[in-house]
Chains A and B, each alone.
Chain A
Amino acid sequence: MQWESVIGLEIHTQLATKSKIFSGAATAFGAEPNTQACAVDLGLPGVLPVLNKQAVRMAIKFGLAVGAQVAPRSVFARKNYFYPDLPKGYQISQYELPVVAQGKMEIELDDGSTKVIGITRAHLEEDAGKSLHEDFHDMTGIDLNRAGTPLLEIVSEPDMRSAKEAVAYMKKIHSLVRYLEICDGNMQEGSFRCDANVSVRPVGHAKLGTRTELKNINSFRFVERAINVEITRQIDLLENGGRVVQETRLYDATKNETRAMRSKEEAMDYRYFPDPDLLPLVINTQDIEAARQSLPELPAAKKRRFMREFELKDYDAALLTADRDVANYFETVVRLAGEPKLAANWIISELSGRLNKEDKLIQQCPISAELLAGMLQRLAKGAITGKMAKDIFDAMWNGEGDADTIITKRGLKPTDSAAVEKIIDHLIAQNPAQVEQYRAGKDKVLGFFVGQVMKASQGKADPAQVNSLLLEKLKK
């Protein structure tokens, strides 16, 4: 039987506010346990929550950016359950009336087509603390620094049909929240994490299969793997006459398998009800307008502009605009050096490759936009060859200064065209048979000549220049 998988994501983004969502305590990551938890975060008796307006503004920005409805009135509700790292015995969240509803996000598929993923809702809530099970001699340590950190939970429609689509959607959301500067997107620190709802059904069936929920997956790679192993597990189960049980499952990255956490029967009754300590959240048109004014250029618009303004290909423009900082880097290079296509190539291939290899973000890149621009200018003028440019790139990466400094220090001299012409003339004279073959239509022979010229110049000649000179001279 042919199976179709159906996937929906719940993405938790930690909002980059200075203080917590309902208290004045700081939200910085990595402080000593329980040093960033005030009486409100500790859930001491008699304390009361006061909503952080910055968190609301961020939620509005997100809502506008995904073309959603920003609710004029939304309600905070209590989600009741006992857990040691949940100080009040309830989490303040939004239930029936969320702040953002009915948005959408377009993703690009492998075949170049696009698909719209529906965003059911996004709601504000507080994070819980952390239970630490190691180093406490069979006891559990509780760190409440994270308790009360603002989260925007973004819930998608079950619109995705493969793990790849899910990752594409998650990356788009990740890019967007970073563009909006409402979340630092740091997945290692848990600022951006997701739960995936996965089910399968025979192709052509309208009715959804029973779903399982995969909890707390914190990298793009794991999301793809977890969904894929879960799809395989469900299909195997169904094809062998079994049935999928509605349950929460945990992805084990080391074993690359999912494991049952709790079934629907064991699922908690959260007894949601409106939080009487907080008034309904009222957002008026001025609030929405103010947020709209503060929106930056969003990825889709920036991509269109890059294609138009810099004549970039769709694919390149998408890569360059996926991350706001990469896009800014690119624009700075172009502003200083011109040459948008050259800049795009270097950033997409050399620079991104190197960053990936060393697991660095563009903000941590040792080569500033100014340095790269300087090098590209020389390359464009033909002052250096492509091979030399790569050497200079490496040297700049290692902190050896700007292109000119490196050229001087290393005594790099670009081979001028006169020297290259001399080599070519010599080769043409030495290899009449090959010249004959080329002129008879055997184009491949050109490669032989290029190779010989490069060899003779000890790799210092610019291949592009060699190519054009050869074409010119062989034509005669």
Chain B
Amino acid sequence: MPLHHKTLAELAQGLRDKHFSSVELTQHYLNRIAQWDKTLNSYVTVTPERALQQARQADALRVKNTAGPLCGVPLAQKDIFCTHGVKTSCGSKMLDNFIAPYTATVVEKCQEAGLVMLGKLNMDEFAMGSSNETSFYGPVKNPWDLTRVPGGSSGGSAAGVAARLTPAATGTDTGGSIRQPAALCNLTGLKPTYGRVSRWGMIAFASSLDQAGPITQTAQDAALLLNIMAGFDSKDSTSLDSPVPDYTTTLKDTLQGLRIGLPKEFFATGLDDGVARVIDEAITQYKKLGASVVEISLPTSQLSVPAYYVIAPAECSSNLSRFDGVRFGYRCANPADLLDLYQRSRGEGFGAEVKRRIMIGTYALSAGYYDAYYLKAQKVRRLISGDFKRAFENVDVIMGPTSPTTAFKLGERSEDPITMYLCDIYTIAVNLAGLPGMSIPAGFSQGLPVGLQIIGNYFTEAKLLNVAHRYQQVTDWHKRIPPGFE
């Protein structure tokens, strides 16, 4: 089996058994990036020298027998995580020249675990988008069909892992940015409970919704990576101070008696027939594994998209104020005065979608509109959380489609923001409630991958991974590699 067909777990085993070195493995992926990424555009920055240096260190630790379980395994980081000494662009012209003097906690934890960073992955500008078309560095192609989008905003992460240009990647999810691209690229993606993973050094889009998580080939890999990423961080006041379980120990638990809730709102109009069929089959598979299924209702979930498109832009309008051309990032040429500096630096540095959201958010927070928009949206948010709370009194997990459709064509929705925003209709409520959610490969519709979404109660990541892993033991959708990238 070629190295790039292996999962994180298998690569770690190979390194432990000394079947190959980290340097060989890293070089293998660097070669694949060099060969394929001109086509895909999944990386913004590749860091070969740094990667090989880290690989050599990992190999040295292996010799000394002091290596952790994933030491020497390559990985790529979404370009939203600050990396000391390496450009962190966040997919924006605004930060095309930005090199952070500090490292995000997620990246630091990966480094401490001995993971080798191959580079920084493309993304929608400031994580605002569902197709990876808003990136300053150009769109990313879906390896399953190069005329289609990989999803977003973690589109580079998904395309990169799907094409095996990295065995795994980090992503961030504000309204579906891990789960939707994972679904569109036939991958396993996990958005943890809000507060489970530190946000320090992760460039903020909407602070109350943003959460980092893994994008991998399998649930087992996601468990291995989450073991490293999760945990309290005193530098993030919203991170939770409670111990992190070993997510790999419960992967094989039985699903006998598992109660699955299917929200009727997730199977109503707007859901593509082909996607619906695949999801039905996946549910049937779960019944075979011993689970029972009940229909539930999340009545307020209908309001999640409008509520999200008030709250997320409101927070982003404030979060992105720091990009003013004064201290770092893009600055316009020859500013005439302060106002000109602000207006042109921001006008030239930000792309259209980012500007649209800053304007929506500024409006929603304005005097006279705050109550009608921001406060109302916060009330809706509480109602949505209430819906889930009631649902979890009777079920262990909630399942449904991750995305209403399979991957759409590049350019097909980029001129129509409303259609684009509806991509995240099933994922957004999870962020508003702060719950953990996953997407796993569930099959194909007309040759394109379909993702099954699994939603759990707060801090039940172990349960989600267990539910996903058992499914992957009896299916092989997750093993499919896009034709041409084998």
Beyond A269-B366, A276-B208, A277-B207, whether A47 also contacts B201 by CB under 8 A is yes
Beyond A46-B202, A46-B204, A82-B342, whether A269 also contacts B367 by CB under 8 A is yes
Q: Is the CB of A276 within 8 A of B82?
A: no
Q: Nearest Cβ distance between residue A34 and chain B, in whole angstroms?
A: 10
Q: Is the CB of A84 within 8 A of B235?
A: no
Interface membership of B234, Cβ < 8 A: yes
Q: Is the CB of B104 within 8 A of A45?
A: no
Q: Is the CB of B321 within 8 A of A47?
A: no
Q: Is the CB of A88 within 8 A of B201?
A: no
A-contacting residues, B344-402, CB 8 Å: 362, 365-367, 370, 374
A50 to B241, CA, bound (A): 14
Contacts of B199 in A (CB 8 A): 46, 48
Q: Nearest Cβ distance between residue B359 and chain A, in whole angstroms?
A: 13
Beyond A39-B102, A142-B326, whether A46 also contacts B318 by CB under 8 A is no
Contacts of A78 in B (CB 8 A): 318
Contacts of B95 in A (CB 8 A): 45
A20 to B88, CA, bound (A): 27
B-contacting residues, A48-67, CB 8 Å: 48-51
8 Å CB contact of A89 from B200, B208, B321, B329? B321
Beyond A89-B318, A273-B374, whether A45 also contacts B365 by CB under 8 A is no
Q: Is the CB of B237 within 8 A of A46?
A: no
8 Å CB contact of B328 from A44, A51, A271? A44
Q: Is the CB of B98 within 8 A of A90?
A: no
Contacts of B317 in A (CB 8 A): 80, 271
- Residues of B contacting A: mostly: loop
Q: Is the CB of B318 within 8 A of A48?
A: no
Q: Is the CB of B237 within 8 A of A87?
A: no
Interface membership of A244, Cβ < 8 A: no
A61 to B426, CA, bound (A): 49
A278 to B330, CA, bound (A): 28
**Could you say which of A46, A87, A277 has the most chain B C-beta atoms within 10 Å of its C-beta?**
A46
Contacts of A273 in B (CB 8 A): 314, 318, 365, 370, 374
Contacts of A269 in B (CB 8 A): 366-367
B368's nearest neighbour on chain A, judged by CB, is: A269
Number of interface residues of B (CB under 8 A): 45
Interface membership of A423, Cβ < 8 A: no
A-contacting residues, B284-330, CB 8 Å: 314-315, 317-318, 320-324, 326-329
Interface membership of A279, Cβ < 8 A: yes
A-contacting residues, B195-235, CB 8 Å: 199-204, 206-208, 234-235
Contacts of A84 in B (CB 8 A): 324, 326, 338
A36 to B100, CA, bound (A): 18
Contacts of B98 in A (CB 8 A): 45
A102 to B212, CA, bound (A): 42
Q: Is the CB of A51 within 8 A of B237?
A: yes
Interface membership of A42, Cβ < 8 A: yes
Q: Is the CB of B235 within 8 A of A87?
A: no
A-contacting residues, B405-448, CB 8 Å: none
Contacts of B202 in A (CB 8 A): 46
8 Å CB contact of A82 from B82, B90, B208, B324? B324
Interface membership of A190, Cβ < 8 A: no
Beyond A89-B318, A277-B238, whether A46 also contacts B362 by CB under 8 A is no
Q: Nearest Cβ distance between residue B30 and chain A, in whole angstroms?
A: 27
Q: Nearest Cβ distance between residue A128 and chain B, in whole angstroms?
A: 13
A49 to B367, CA, bound (A): 26
**Could you say which of A42, A269, A276 has the most chain B C-beta atoms within 10 Å of its C-beta?**
A276
Contacts of A459 in B (CB 8 A): none
Q: Is the CB of A48 within 8 A of B200?
A: yes
Interface membership of A43, Cβ < 8 A: yes
Contacts of A44 in B (CB 8 A): 100-102, 322, 327-328
Contacts of B321 in A (CB 8 A): 80, 82, 88-90
Beyond A45-B82, A46-B202, whether A87 also contacts B100 by CB under 8 A is no
Beyond A82-B342, A269-B366, A273-B314, whether A278 also contacts B322 by CB under 8 A is no
Number of interface residues of A (CB under 8 A): 29
Contacts of B100 in A (CB 8 A): 44-46
A38 to B395, CA, bound (A): 47
Q: Nearest Cβ distance between residue A70 and chain B, in whole angstroms?
A: 20
A125 to B95, CA, bound (A): 29
Interface membership of B236, Cβ < 8 A: yes
Contacts of B238 in A (CB 8 A): 48, 276-279
8 Å CB contact of B207 from A39, A80, A82, A276? A276
A267's nearest neighbour on chain B, judged by CB, is: B367
B311's nearest neighbour on chain A, judged by CB, is: A276
Q: Nearest Cβ distance between residue B8 and chain A, in whole angstroms?
A: 26
Contacts of A48 in B (CB 8 A): 199-200, 235-238
Q: Is the CB of B322 within 8 A of A89?
A: yes
8 Å CB contact of B237 from A88, A90, A279? A279
8 Å CB contact of B200 from A47, A80, A142? A47
Q: Is the CB of A87 within 8 A of B365?
A: no
A273's nearest neighbour on chain B, judged by CB, is: B365
Q: Nearest Cβ distance between residue A351 and chain B, in whole angstroms?
A: 49
Per-residue A-contact encoding for B75-113, CB less than 8 Å = 1, 0 else: 000000110000010100001001011101000000000
Contacts of A89 in B (CB 8 A): 318, 320-322, 324
**Could you say which of A50, A78, A80, A271 has the most chain B C-beta atoms within 10 Å of its C-beta?**
A271
8 Å CB contact of A50 from B234, B320, B366? B234
Q: Nearest Cβ distance between residue A92 and chain B, in whole angstroms?
A: 11
Q: Is the CB of B318 within 8 A of A271?
A: yes
A343 to B276, CA, bound (A): 92
Beyond A78-B318, A273-B374, whether A46 also contacts B365 by CB under 8 A is no
Q: Nearest Cβ distance between residue B318 and chain A, in whole angstroms?
A: 5
Contacts of B327 in A (CB 8 A): 42-44, 87, 142
B90's nearest neighbour on chain A, judged by CB, is: A45
Q: Is the CB of A50 within 8 A of B101?
A: no
Q: Is the CB of B208 within 8 A of A46?
A: no
A140's nearest neighbour on chain B, judged by CB, is: B338
A140 to B166, CA, bound (A): 47
Q: Nearest Cβ distance between residue A40 and chain B, in whole angstroms?
A: 9
Q: Is the CB of A87 within 8 A of B322?
A: yes
Contacts of A42 in B (CB 8 A): 327-328
Contacts of A43 in B (CB 8 A): 322, 327
Contacts of B315 in A (CB 8 A): 276
Q: Nearest Cβ distance between residue A251 and chain B, in whole angstroms?
A: 24
A37's nearest neighbour on chain B, judged by CB, is: B327
A276 to B370, CA, bound (A): 16
Q: Nearest Cβ distance between residue B311 and chain A, in whole angstroms?
A: 9
**Could you say which of A39, A44, A87, A272 has the most chain B C-beta atoms within 10 Å of its C-beta?**
A44
A123 to B361, CA, bound (A): 26
A43 to B374, CA, bound (A): 24
Contacts of B367 in A (CB 8 A): 269, 271
Q: Nearest Cβ distance between residue A276 and chain B, in whole angstroms?
A: 4
Contacts of A140 in B (CB 8 A): 338
Contacts of B208 in A (CB 8 A): 276
A87 to B88, CA, bound (A): 19
Other A-B pairs beyond A90-B318, A142-B327, 13, CB < 8 Å: A42-B328, A45-B322, A45-B323, A45-B328, A46-B82, A50-B236, A78-B318, A80-B321, A89-B318, A90-B321, A140-B338, A271-B362, A276-B315
Task: Name the 4 nearest CB pairs between A and B, nearest first.
Answer: A89-B321, A276-B208, A271-B365, A276-B207
Interface residues of B (CB under 8 A from A): 81-82, 88, 90, 95, 98, 100-102, 104, 199-204, 206-208, 234-238, 314-315, 317-318, 320-324, 326-329, 338, 342, 362, 365-367, 370, 374
The 25 listed contacts between A and B (C-beta, < 8 Å) are A39-B101, A42-B327, A44-B102, A45-B329, A46-B200, A46-B204, A47-B200, A50-B234, A50-B237, A78-B318, A80-B317, A80-B365, A82-B324, A84-B324, A87-B326, A140-B338, A269-B366, A271-B318, A271-B365, A271-B367, A273-B374, A276-B207, A276-B238, A278-B238, A279-B237
Interface residues of A (CB under 8 A from B): 39, 42-51, 78, 80, 82, 84, 87-90, 140, 142, 269, 271-273, 276-279
